Structure 1
Amino acid sequence: MPRAIISPSVLASDFGQLTAECKRMIKGGAEWLHMDVMDGHFVPNITMGKLAEPLVACTISCPPGAPILACVSKGVPGIFMDCHMMVAEPEKWVNDIADAGGALYCFHLEATGDPLSVIKAIRARNMKVGVAISPDTPSTAITDEVANAADMLLVMTVYPGRGGQKFLERCVPKVAELRARFPDKDIEVDGGVGPNTIDVCAHAGSNVIVAGTAIFGAPNPDEVIAKLKASVNTAQAKLSS
């Protein structure tokens, strides 16, 4: 089983102190930072809330979110940005996200008819590849060829496009199905995950955990990060015994 990784969702952070918030998460034990990038087309919202709207208006040649990612990358050297691209035509934004410092480019399977070409473009820019599926997309939509070409598979446990939604437990069996097919692959869950829902995700086989409000809104985020990681480690020990 791949190792436990906690990726706090920056969408839930205080954007007025974005760099400090990212540093706070890393100091608290997070290895990745989950950066939600929305375009207003694939999902109705624009990336990272209202802060990004004037940036998008002023930087038409850049994807939504790229200027923010570049600022974070500059302010937090060595940060691993897990970029969740909730965008139409994901192939169009690969270069901009790479230039902004993205480490992993995760696109939605529903947004393209040619996922292997998108994967090839991401690889060409030396980023890791993630492939995401929304709640109504079955795990079987991810073919063996696509999964084997990717580094990570993301199962959404809420509908993409906005934070604060209720965890959809009906999506969890897809995690188990993908884990059975790809025992060595990183499998991420995103949406409504926190101390009350982590165990079901971990026992299904997820090892990369995205959590927003549960971490950023906690009095002691480092304790929440430690609890989430411990749940994954405990589940992995049981699955491998």
Structure 2
Amino acid sequence: MRQIIAPSILSADFANLQADSMAALRQGGDWLHVDVMDGHFVPNLSLGFPVISSLHKSLPEAFLDCHFMVTDPERWIDVAAKAGACSFTFHIEAPGLRQEGVTEMYIGPDESLKEINAACRRLVARIKGLGMRAGLSIKPKTPLSAIEDETLASIDLLLLMTVEPGFGGQAYMFEAAEKAHEARQRYPNLDIEVDGGIAATTIGHASKCGANVFVAGSSIFGKEDYGIAIKELRSNL
């Protein structure tokens, strides 16, 4: 599997976002990871569609790997495609995929995984129909078993959160990355992405677990030389 480094622009200098993004790509980054948060699914607000559109226009060759930490992902699929998102990753825990009236940001023991997975596959079909790659994400406490085989087989990318989503700079959760072992055994050609706490000291563990896409924020944008930072990450794969 190709090893992909995806600099997370959540850690970039927003006053110089285009320049920072271009530098990260020119100095060894493969994708740009774009976090979209609605302040409900996670307790933070972040980049919106004008930013995605601006990045797409200024860096048309960039692969914009968009991660939607939002309550109702279906609402944003068409908008994301028009803005220039290359991939659309959403959370299986999103309340908008579940029974009416559900507000919790985790999957309860009494919920129907069959219904949730059917909703996920419906969204995946819409995402792909608009020309984007479709990704599905799970939080650290959500087991991989929450995703049915039929759903895993339908997606292009599985995103394993290795921190609680919402903020950068958190400590890497080793046990969350270890879910990649089973996913890689079941789907050897699936892109498996890890996001949270990825640094030179943790990327090797994630790779050994089976991940091949690595989201790195402060470990790239927090350094003076992005090229050296990215080379250090790759040297530990």
Query: TM-score range with shorter-chain normalisation?
Result: 0.7 to 0.9
1:84 aligns with 2:67: yes
TM-score (norm 1): 0.87
Partner of 2:26: 27
The equivalent of 1:10 in structure 2 is 9
Matched, 1:129 2:134: yes
Which of the two has greater helix per residue?
1
The alignment covers a number of residue pairs equal to 215
Cα deviation for residue 26 of structure 1 reads 0.8
- List gaps (5 residues or longer) in structure 1: 49-64, 233-241
Q: Which amino acid in 2 is paired with 1:37?
A: V
Secondary structure of the 2:160 match is strand
Match of 1:101 among 84, 103, 108: 84
TM-score relative to the length of structure 2: 0.88
Give the match for residue 57 of structure 2: 74
What fraction of aligned residue pairs are identical, expressed as a percent? Answer: 42
**1:22 counterpart SS class:** helix
Aligned residue for 1:119, secondary structure, equals helix
Superposed CA deviations along residues 83-130 of structure 1, whole A, max 9, x for unmatched, are 000011111100111111100100011112310111011011100011
Greater shift, 114-123 or 172-181, is seen at 172-181
Give the match for residue 239 of structure 1. none
Q: Counterpart of 2:236 in 1: which secondary structure?
A: helix
Map of 1:171 onto structure 2: 176
What residue in structure 1 maps to residue 113 of structure 2? none
Q: Does 1:192 align with 2:197?
A: yes
Moved over 2 A (4+): 226-232
How is 1:56-67 mapped onto 2 (pairs within 5 angstroms)?
Answer: 65-67=48-50
C-alpha separation in 1, matches of 2:173 and 2:236: 19
> What amino acid is the match of 1:40?
G
SS of equivalent residue, structure 1 residue 110: coil
Q: Over residues 61-104 of structure 1, what are the superposed CA-to-partner deviations in whole Å (9 max), with x where a residue is unaligned? A: xxxx1111111111112111000000111111001111111001
| Residue 186 of structure 2 corresponds to residue 181 of structure 1 | yes
Q: Deviations over 1:157-197 (max 9, x none)?
A: 00111111111112122011211111111100000101011
Write the letter of the residue equivalent to 1:102. A
The letter for the 2-side match of 1:32 is W
Superposition RMSD in Å: 1.1
Shift of 1:29: 1.1
**Correspondence 1:117 to 2:136:** no
* Offset of residue 142 of structure 1: 1.7
Secondary structure of 1:178's counterpart equals helix
Find 1:228's aligned residue among 212, 229, 233: 233
Gaps of 5+ in 2: 98-115
SS of residue in 2 equivalent to 1:82: strand
Q: Please name the residue that 1:139 is paired with.
A: 144
Q: Deviations over 1:1-29 (max 9, x none)?
A: x2001000000000001111110011011
- Whole-angstrom CA distance in 2 between matches of 1:11 and 1:128: 21
